[in-house]
Amino acid sequence: MVMPEGLIKMLFTFVLLTAALIITRRDMLGIITTYAAQSLLISAVAGILYISGGSEMLLTIALLTLFSKVMLIPAIMKGIQRQIKIKRDVEFSYLSPTTALAASMVMLLAVYALLSGVLEEFALSRIFIFGAVAGISLMLMGMLVIFSRRQTITAIVGYLTMENGVVLMSLFLTELPLIIEVLVVVDLIGIMLLAAILSFGISSDMEEFHQKLVRPFSAGNNRRGSR
């Protein structure tokens, strides 16, 4: 079956749009719902690639994404959000949402310029090249979320967006075994971060979190100093 390129282009556009929304939105519930919508779009891309004659691995990815990232993870995050009672994340550090959006567009163009030359050697069609470009751009936009947001729970959504970017890229460049490794590493970072936050208190922002991490040592130093 011929791949419906128009539909896939539209899904790419909406995936990048959801990333832009995650960068700019301030209500926690909205950010989590946008992440779920983004995952649903990526699941749809995988499903369309499978229907267009792809391997069964694509169907597995589509179903796995649908179950884990559209249903399970957003449900857990909404539960956490209810527990910690943080409804809005209004503080930004380093980058304002306006600058972050402009930076995202520059990154998209830069990634395309860098990658198109390399990937043309693989004789891939333009839609596959752009799929990879969209995936990497999504990863970078996730990274922007991580360092521009102060609330830890929003930073987690940033990590998850990065992971979605890796999945999107792997859908179009499945030959790269490195992708799997990156996927696992990003997942591990996310899990580690979650575990650490759950230990130290999820209702803190990053600065408080770092202070909590450092406090035992600095308290020890102070005690030694006072003796």
Which residues here bind other proteins, judged by CB under 8 A?
A: 6-7, 9-10, 12-14, 16-17, 20, 24, 96-98, 101-102, 104-105, 108-109, 112, 116, 126-127, 129-130, 133
Output 102 or 189, the one with its CB closest to other proteins. Answer: 102
Estimate to the nearest angstrom the gap between the alpha carbon of 222 and the chain centroid.
Answer: 40
Contact 23, 35 (CB under 8 A): no
What residue has token string 């969209």?
Answer: 134
**Residue 23: CB minimum distance to other proteins, A:** 9
Contact 172, 131 (CB under 8 A): yes
**Residue 20: CB minimum distance to other proteins, A:** 5
Output 60 or 96, the one with its CB closest to other proteins. Answer: 96
To which H or E segment does residue 15 belong?
helix 5-24
Output 97 or 190, the one with its CB closest to other proteins. Answer: 97
**Residue 14: CB minimum distance to other proteins, A:** 8
Inter-residue long-range contacts of 212-219, CB under 8 Å, 24+ positions, other chains counted: none
Q: Which residues contact 166 (CB under 8 A, 6 or more apart)?
A: 135, 139, 179, 182, 183, 186
Output 141 or 202, the one with its CB closest to other proteins. Answer: 141
Q: Which residues contact 221 (CB under 8 A, 6 or more apart)?
A: none
The token pair at 201 is 């208190």
Output 77 or 108, the one with its CB closest to other proteins. Answer: 108
**Residue 108: CB minimum distance to other proteins, A:** 6
**Residue 39: CB minimum distance to other proteins, A:** 20
Output 106 or 178, the one with its CB closest to other proteins. Answer: 106
Distances (CA, A) of 51 to 3, 151, 223: 8, 40, 66
**Residue 83: CB minimum distance to other proteins, A:** 28
